[in-house]
Amino acid sequence: MRKELLKKLRESLYTDKEALRQLAESNKGDIPFVKELFKRVAVAALEAGNLDGFLHVLFYSIYTEIAWGDKVDYDYATVDEDINVYMRLAAKSHPLYQKLSENRKKKTDGKLRIGFVLEGFDGKQASIRTYYPFAEYHEGYEVFFYSRLPLDFSPSYKATVDQFINRGCTVRCPVIWLSPLNQVRFLADTISKDGIDILVYQSVYFVPVYHFLSCLHPAPFQAAVAHQQPEYSHEIDLLFCTPRIESETWCETGPFPMVQTKAVKPALDRKDFGIPESAVLLVTAARDVKYHQEEFWDTIRAIFAAHENIYYLAIGKKGNGRNKIVSIDFTDDVMSYLAMGDIFLDPFPLGTGASVIEAMQVGLPVVTSQPDLSESFQVHNEQMAYLYAQNDSLIASSRSDYISVVNKLIEDESIRKSLGNEMLEKVKQYEPQKVSESVYKSLAECYRQKAF
């Protein structure tokens, strides 16, 4: 069946949507095949001059594992250098490229205008909350926030947008849903008209619209943030990331610790969730996909088998909890939930990101695992907890070691308190105002150093 459908798809010059759908559905377990299939269709669209089709289908190629995989390990969330080349060639031949290049000018006086390009404004996502401090502490700079997604894309967007506006920032997003190429046009035109000097992308490669936009260079200086996975690009002047990795760009990589601007709120009442006050509460805050790892759940079960008076709160996990496991969906008030806990568990092999900082802020000891940094493109190889909350007594070298570390914390309240206080001290280096000012300073200095 695969052979016949491939023949049909090729004969249609890769435009037969039904053949594509059947091929993807019938080969769900073969991620490399489906991923390459969508890439071929995307490139065929580009060859035919259909940029909308290229950007749209490429999104499915990038997220094949999530959309079509039986199990999501992010093993295929890698940067394809072919796509980088296609993007650059397509952008540089587009009329917008020349138009934008004529408008790019280096500022010699006045406040720098800095724009942040975000994938929506959902405050329930830790990665979006990362940008709250940059809206709050931006003295000396004019700050703008952009997104390709309209405000009514999600009910949660308005609260974040209002927060940005109330702190003196400007927010730009389309009023209706636009096609991928029209999203690019909207952003390119708006950023150019706003006279943005420095543009900071939340993501480049993993959102094709932003990847194409970055290749158009709508601002004189461009930076990007590698929240968990490095996104190398020759179009980016400065790459901010947690570990100090090598960048192929002209400017040295900058540090970008995740921060939470909201003050720590009182813990919610455990009784409302059926959790006794005397119980030791283990807690994790992560996207639902990071709870799909059987090895992690085997570890949780082993810990439960050794202790009677423990509960586990899984923030961000879909579905109902059971047997002392409480599940709640994403929330923008994650701090109040974390504050109920006693120990933060970093899941593996897919570790958490900004949630680690939030756990440290409420004084929770953070248990994590030793990462394997040999394959820097792999998301799960960059454990944020290991990088942020380094403490040898909390870093496990194996699954059995992870269980031993957690067991020790469960059994000794004094150790929990001591390590929790250590986290409170360590998190001070990620204080929102301090980090925001440092990032803005790095951006401004690198902008002035760049030869235009």
Res 414 pLDDT > 90 = yes
Q: pTM for the whole thing?
A: 0.78
Please check whether residue 213 is in contact with residue 94, taking contact to mean a CB–CB distance below 8 angstroms: no
Residue among 328, 364, 336 at smallest CA distance from 262? 336
Res 262 pLDDT > 60 = no
**Domain formed by 270-429, architecture:** 3-Layer(aba) Sandwich (3.40)
Range among 78-87, 122-131, 171-180 with highest mean pLDDT value? 171-180
What is the per-residue pLDDT for 166? Answer: 96
Res 318 pLDDT > 70 = yes
Of 263-277, 362-376, 400-414, the poorest mean pLDDT is in 362-376
Res 67 pLDDT > 90 = no
More confident residue, 348 or 154: 154
Task: Print the SS3 string covering the chain.
Answer: CHHHHHHHHHHCCCCCHHHHHHHHHHCCCCHHHHHHHHHHHHHHHHHCCCHHHHHHHHHHHHCHHHHHCCCCCCCCCCCCHHHHHHHHHHHHCCHHHHHHHHHCCCCCCCCEEEEEECCCCCCCCHHHHCCHHHHHCCCCEEEEEECCCCHHHCCCHHHHHHHHHHCCCEEECCCCCCCHHHHHHHHHHHHHHCCCCEEEECCCCCCHHHHHHHHHCCCCEEEEEECCCCCCCCCCCEEEECCCCCCCCCCCCEECCCCCCCCCCCCCCHHHHCCCCCCEEEEEECCHHHHCCHHHHHHHHHHHHHCCCEEEEEECCCCCCCCCEEEECCCCCHHHHHCCCCEEECCCCCCCCHHHHHHHHCCCCEEEECCCCCCCCCHHHCCHHHHHCCCHHHEECCHHHHHHHHHHHHHCHHHHHHHHHHHHHHHHHHCHHHHHHHHHHHHHHHHHHCCC
Mean pLDDT on 164-189: 97
Mean pLDDT on 294-315: 92
Mean pLDDT on 154-183: 96
More confident residue, 246 or 231: 231
What is the per-residue pLDDT for 253? Answer: 42
What is the per-residue pLDDT for 8? Answer: 93
**Percentage above 70 pLDDT, the chain:** 84
Buried-exposed string 241-259: b where 16+ CB fall within 10 A, e elsewhere: bbbeeebebebebbebbbb
What is the per-residue pLDDT for 335? Answer: 86
Average of per-residue pLDDT values in the chain = 84
More confident residue, 197 or 81: 197
Q: Would you say domain 95-259+432-449 falls under CATH 3.40.50.11380?
A: yes
Res 387 pLDDT > 70 = no
Mean pLDDT on 340-357: 81
